[in-house]
Amino acid sequence: MILSVKDLTVSFATDGGVVRAVEGVSFSIDKGEILAIVGESGSGKSVTAQTILGLTRAPNASITGSVEFDGRDLTQLDDEALREVRGKRIAMIFQDPMTSLNPVYRVGEQIVEMIRAHQKVDKKEARESAVDLLRSVGIPNPERRVHDYPHEFSGGMRQRVMIAMALALDPDVLIADEPTTALDVTVQAQILRLLDKLNRERGLAVILITHDLGVVAEVADRVAVMYAGQIVEDATLDDLFYDPQHPYTWGLLGSLARLDQPRPIRLAQIAGSPPSLLNPPTGCRFAARCPHEFDKCSEPPPLHGDRCWLDPADKRRLRDVDGHIGLRKDVAS
Amino acid sequence: MSGEPLLEVTDLVKHFPVKSGVVVDRVVAHVKAVDGVSLTINEGETLGLVGESGCGKSTLSRAILQLTAPTSGSVKFLGEELVGRSRRSLRPVRRRMQMIFQDPYASLNPRKRVGQIIGEPMELHGLANGRDVDRRVQDLLDRVGLSAEHASRYPHEFSGGQRQRIGIARALALEPKLIIADEPVSALDVSVQAQIVNLLKDLQTELGLSYLFVAHDLGVVRHVSDRVAVMYLGRIVESAPAGKLYDNPLHPYSNALLSAVPIPDPKLNISRERLVLEGDVPSPIDPPSGCHFHTRCPWATEVCTVDDPRLEELETSHVAACHHPRNLVGQG
C-alpha cells in the first residue's frame, strides 16, 4: 500500500456549532491503482482529499486519525516537511483549472518555477522538461504553447496543463478532485483517456474524486462511496455496479438518466436530503431517507464493505426494482 | 397537434460585435453566437437542445425570449411576431413564456421572501391581488413540493434543489404556455436532479406545458424530450424525435457526443466502440469554412471544407446537415 488513510475525522468549529465534515474514514491505495471516491456535495469527499495534503489545517479545524505515506504520518508532519511531500510525491489537480493557474505568468514559466523549486536544474533544462511535459499530456505545438498565458488555453487544454504540472516532479500519487466536471463531454473523454494512460504507463496511483458514476465506471479500479461524512460502501468496480450493498448506492445508481437503457417513465429518486453535519444522526446516517429502515438502524452500523444492517440475502431481493438496481419507494422490509 | 406550432423560430441570427480601439471603437469582427437557427415547438411538447459550451444554446434561448435582441430572423409565439417589438408591447407575451435558470443561487433575489418572489410577478401582471396572491402562492408552493410556511422564508434558507423548486414556482405563477429551462438541473446532485426532472414532467402532464429544455447532459435530455436538436457553433446540425436521434444519430458530431458520454456500466464501457474527438470547438468569431465541424470530423473530405451542408430531411422527420451522414438505413 502506498497510501493509507486510517480512521480520519475532520471537524470544523463554526458559529453554528461543530461541523463533522469527515468521520472515521479509512481507505488505502496501491501503486498503479485508481480509487474513486464518489459522493454528492457535502459528503466530505473533497475535505478527505484535501486533508491528505494538509490543506484543511486551520485554527478552527480538528483532525484525528492518520494518513500513512512512505512510513510517515502526514497529519503529524510540520508545514515544511509537508511541503516536500506536496507536489513532489503527492500531486493534486482541481476542478477549475483557471483558478489554479496564475493568470499573469506564462504557462512555461509556471512549470519551470515549480520544477526549480524542487530540483537542482538550470533554467534551460527545466524549460526543456516543461515542453516535454506539455507534449506528454497531448498539447499540440508545445514549443510555442509554453510562451502562452493561461487565458489563451481552452478549458480542456488548461486541465492538461494542470496535469502536466502535477506530473512534473514524477509523483507517486495524484489526487484529482472533480477533474472533468467543468469540461464538456467530448473533452472529458480526452482527459479521462489521458489519466488512464498515465496510470498505466507510470504506475501512478490516482485518487479520483467525483460525483459522476459514469466517470467512475470508465476509469476506476475500486470505489468508495461517501455519504454525510462517512464511507458507506467500499467495493471493487464490478461489485459496486453489479452487486452494490448499500441502499444509498442503489439510490444513486437508480436515479441516473442512463443512455444505455430504455428510458423509464419516471426517474427513481431518493426522497429528502442529506442530514446536517452539525448534528448528524447517531445511528445509520441514511436511515431517514431509506425505505428499508428497521429498528436496528438506530445503532451506528460498522463498515464491513458497507455500512448497512440489512442481511445480504435480503439486500439482493430489496435492491431489485423492475429488473434494475434501485431504491424502492414504499416497502417495509 | 393541430394548426400552428406554439413557437416558431425561423432563421434566427444573433451576432455580437467585437470592438477594438482606444478612442473610437471600431467593430473588427462578430461572434456568431447564433447563426441561422430554425425550430418549432408544439403545444405540450418538449424540445431538448444539446451542445457543448459556447455552441450558442444559451444565447439562442435568450434571443427567443427577446432578453437579447436578435440580429435578424423571426420568432413567432402564439402566432405573434416578437422580433422588433417594444418592451411594453412584449410584456403580455412574456407572461406566457417563462424561464428557469441553471443557478438556483444567483437567480433568486436574496433580499426577498419566497412569497414575494413568487407573488410579485402575479401582481405586476394583474393576475391576482391582495389575499388572492397569498392563496395562489401557497397553491404553487404545494404544487412544486414545498409547503405553505416556506413563503415567509428567504432563499438562503433553502438547499439547491429546493431553490430550483422556488424558481419553478415563480415561472408557473404567470400561467405560462412555454417554459425555457436553461440547464435546470446541472448544478444539482444526481439524486436531486431526478426529483426536479420528475417534477417538471409531472407539471407538464398536469398543465399542458411546453418546454425548451437546454442542457449539456445527454442522459437527462433524452429522458425529458420528445424531440432533440443538436447545436454546434451557432447552428443546429441535427434534429429528430428523441428515440431516433439517440438510437441512430446521423451527424458525426451527434455520434461523437453520444459516444463521449460515460456509461455507468463498466463492462459495457469496455465493449462499446468509442469515437473520441480530437481538439476543441473552434472560435465562433472565425468559424471554419464549409461545414463548421470538418476540422474535428474523422469522415471529412474535400467537399466539407468548401461546401456548407444544409439541414435536410435524410429520414422521416429526421434532419441533419452533413455531406457524409452516418447510420443511414440501408447503408449498414
- Establish if A270 touches chain B: CB-CB under 8 angstroms: yes
CA B143 to chain centre: 24
Mean predicted confidence (pLDDT) in A256-262: 87
Share of chain A above pLDDT 90, in %: 69
Flag if A256 and B219 touch (Cβ within 8 Å).
yes
**Most B CBs within 10 Å, among A95, A216, A236, A255, to test the B interface:** A255
pLDDT, residue A324, reads: 86
Is residue A126 pLDDT above 50, yes or no?
A: yes
pLDDT, residue B3, reads: 66
Does ipTM surpass 0.85 in this model? no
Is residue A331 pLDDT above 50, yes or no?
A: no
- Establish if B263 touches chain A: CB-CB under 8 angstroms: yes
The angle formed by the CA atoms of residues B221, B257 and B266, to the nearest 5 degrees, is 90
d(CA B172, CA B241): 26
- Establish if A192 touches chain B: CB-CB under 8 angstroms: yes
Instruction: Output the pTM of the full model.
Output: 0.88
pLDDT, residue B21, reads: 82
Q: Which of A40, A189, A269 sits opposite B276 (nearest CB)?
A: A189
Coil, strand or helix at B69: coil
pLDDT, residue B245, reads: 95
pLDDT, residue B224, reads: 94
pLDDT tens-digit map of A286-329: 999 999 999 999 999 999 889 999 999 999 999 988 888 988 87
Flag if A259 and B53 touch (Cβ within 8 Å).
no
Q: Could you give the domains of chain A?
A: 1-89+171-186+205-333 (3.40.50.300), 96-170 (no CATH)
pLDDT, residue A323, reads: 84
pLDDT, residue B184, reads: 92
pLDDT, residue B2, reads: 52
Flag if A259 and B159 touch (Cβ within 8 Å).
no
- Establish if A215 touches chain B: CB-CB under 8 angstroms: yes
Cell 479545524: give the residue.
A61
- Establish if B261 touches chain A: CB-CB under 8 angstroms: yes
Residue A38 pairs with which residues in a beta bridge? A210, A225
Q: Which of A185, A193, A255 sits opposite B261 (nearest CB)?
A: A185
Among the residue ranges A119-133, A178-192, B282-296, the one predicted with the least confidence is A178-192
Is residue A135 pLDDT above 60, yes or no?
A: yes
Give the model's confidence band at A332: pLDDT under 50 very low, under 70 low, under 90 confident, else very high. very low
d(CA B231, CA B213): 13
- Establish if B316 touches chain A: CB-CB under 8 angstroms: no
CB pairs under 8 A between A and B: 119
Mean predicted confidence (pLDDT) in A93-98: 82
- Establish if A197 touches chain B: CB-CB under 8 angstroms: no
Question: B 32-51 residues with CB below 8 A of A?
Answer: none
pLDDT, residue A181, reads: 84
Give B192's contacts in chain A (Cβ within 8 Å).
40, 273
Shortest distance between the Cα of A139 and any Cα of chain B, in A, equals 9
Asked if A64 contacts A9 with a C-beta cutoff of 8 angstroms, the reply is yes
Asked if B47 contacts B64 with a C-beta cutoff of 8 angstroms, the reply is no
CA B8 to chain centre: 14
Closest residue on chain B to A248 (Cα): B191
- Give CA torsion, residues B286, B232, B330, B48, to 10 deg: -160
Mean predicted confidence (pLDDT) in A170-197: 89
- Give CA torsion, residues B188, B190, B194, B200, to 10 deg: 20
pLDDT averages per 10-residue partition of chain B, 332 residues: 82 93 85 94 96 89 94 95 93 92 88 95 90 94 92 92 94 96 88 90 95 92 96 96 94 93 89 81 88 93 94 94 86 46
